[in-house]
Structure 1
Amino acid sequence: MKKLCAVASLLLAVIILVGCSIMENAKRQEFEERFSRISEVYPTTKVEELFKKFPKGFEIEYLKTEYTGDSPYTQILKFDGDAKTKEILGTYVKESYEEEFPHLSVESEPIQIKYTDEKGIESTDGQELPASVRNIRFLFTNFSFDKEKLKDLTYLNVTESPVDGNYSIRYEIVNQTINDYIGINSNDKIEMELFGVPKFDKAHKYSVTIAFFKRGRDYFSEAIKEK
């Protein structure tokens, strides 16, 4: 009788594990389908080509954190692509913080900036931009991504907010192009997370945020949203 109970318990555990695995795979497929439009932007070799893809305009938010020295800092660039003027204007700020107190940050005064494919990122208010900002190249201009590539990645988990429905899917990756772009060892494993917003999905508008991090350190994120 005891052996029979043990076998039954083991069988039940196997059934539960298989059921959970099937449900998790189904969830992965569902979320990857939600990000099937990622290839519409990744790649777009020239930023101004986004006006053709999004006739009503677009927004770009770019964050990159540097961990060199004793005081890590984040470069934050926000752009607005105006459909009428075909200008890409925005702001740049540098957010500095002590590594021991990552929630206490100090922002620099905003610098007004613009982007053109010809000249890249320039200041429009007379303030000098750091060379590291002037030389920024958006990830989507040289990195290709699509739904099929997501299927080949090491899947970690998905999340979905019960409040606003915002969702994400996370993977573990080793990608030399990404690591070189971020500025870390080319063989390092990092985590990549894609974020989506339901209100954009319902309106059939493009909205994808892609972020990379490792061991609690945020390295880089890039968001492109269609107006």
Structure 2
Amino acid sequence: MFKKIAMLMLVGGVGIMVLAGCSLKSSRQFIEGKASELSQVYPTENLEDLFEKFPDGFQIRITDSEKKDDNSPTIIYQTVLNGISEIKEIKGEITKESSLKNSDGKIEKEMLYKGYVYYKDGNLHLSEVNSSDNKEKGDLKYPRLLMQEFSISRSSLKGLEVVRKGYSFETGSASITYKLKNKQVNTYLGLEKDSQLNMIINIPEPTVSGKNYGYSIIFRKDSLAHSEGIVGKLEKD
């Protein structure tokens, strides 16, 4: 009888510890602490400096989507940049795609442009080597990254209003959404200077647990969305 009671107490104690751990990871303090580690790369004016932080290389993924009205297709720009450690160069691929829901409710996608891009002298440039089957002439949505200009810190995040936050016990990932009114971001995105948007910071499990460094940030207002994501392995001190 006493053994059974002791076992129940042990199981109950473990359960309380698990719940306490989940509660801690769901707190603003914990999630914001992880999100503030973006200060290590925001800002990085010269993207080549990222090789000092990620000596084994890194990847940056930029996605932009915009829909003018209900009858217009969603235009999606995506740029994937690879920081190649062996040659200390940053280059990758750019695509432009149209997505529209037809009368049957199915999504129809059309590739409008696919080409190559590289980073040099503080800006992105289209490579002269491009596919011949493109339906449009290539263009860069933004020649620079917001990462090169926008600053993130623990104090700046602490001063923002939180819309929602959460930690997933199943996946080990976390996210936090802030209300943001920032002239620098609004100018970059071509919005009115006093516009308010949502800034969503997604933190995958390897970053939450300290195994890796990877984040995605989404700036969203109405039908416009701009996201930047970076993943790499930080140089250990």
Which bin holds the TM-score, normalised by the shorter protein? 0.7 to 0.9
Task: Give the structure 2 partner of residue 123 of structure 1.
Answer: 127
Q: Is the 8 A contact 1:114 1:124 kept in 2?
A: no
- Greater displacement, 33-42 / 103-112: 103-112
Supply the distance in 1 between the matched residues of 2:227 and 2:143 (Cα, whole angstroms). Answer: 13
Supply the distance in 2 between the matched residues of 1:115 and 1:143 (Cα, whole angstroms). Answer: 18
Q: Is the 8 A contact 1:64 1:220 kept in 2?
A: yes
Which consecutive unaligned segments of at least 5 residues does structure 1 have? 1-22
| Aligned with 1:152 (options 147, 159, 164) | 159
Task: Give the structure 2 partner of residue 63 of structure 1.
Answer: 63
Supply the distance in 2 between the matched residues of 1:125 and 1:74 (Cα, whole angstroms). Answer: 22
Deviation at residue 80 of structure 1 after TM alignment: 1.0
The number of aligned residues is 203
Aligned CA distance change for structure 1 residues 140 and 99 (closer, same or farther; 3 Å): farther
Deviation at residue 167 of structure 1 after TM alignment: 1.5
Matches within 5 A, 1:143-182: 143-182=150-189
Supply the distance in 2 between the matched residues of 1:192 and 1:90 (Cα, whole angstroms). Answer: 26
Give the fraction of aligned pairs with identical amino acids, expressed as a percent. 28
In the alignment, is residue 41 of structure 1 matched against residue 41 of structure 2? yes
Render the CA deviation track for 1:69-119: whole Å, top value 9, x for unaligned. Answer: 733311100011111111212111112123787954333453122222366
Normalising by structure 1, what TM-score?
A: 0.78
Q: Aligned to 2:177, what secondary structure does the other structure show?
A: strand
Task: Give the structure 1 partner of residue 81 of structure 2.
Answer: 79
One-letter code aligned to 2:125? I
Task: Give the structure 1 partner of residue 3 of structure 2.
Answer: none
Aligned CA distance change for structure 1 residues 201 and 159 (closer, same or farther; 3 Å): closer
Which consecutive unaligned segments of at least 5 residues does structure 2 have? 1-22
One-letter code aligned to 1:85? I
- Greater displacement, 103-112 / 139-148: 103-112
How large is the RMSD of aligned CA atoms in angstroms? 2.7
- Greater displacement, 205-214 / 141-150: 205-214
Supply the distance in 2 between the matched residues of 1:75 and 1:226 (Cα, whole angstroms). Answer: 23
Render the CA deviation track for 1:125-161: whole Å, top value 9, x for unaligned. Answer: 235863434x521001011111111000011111233
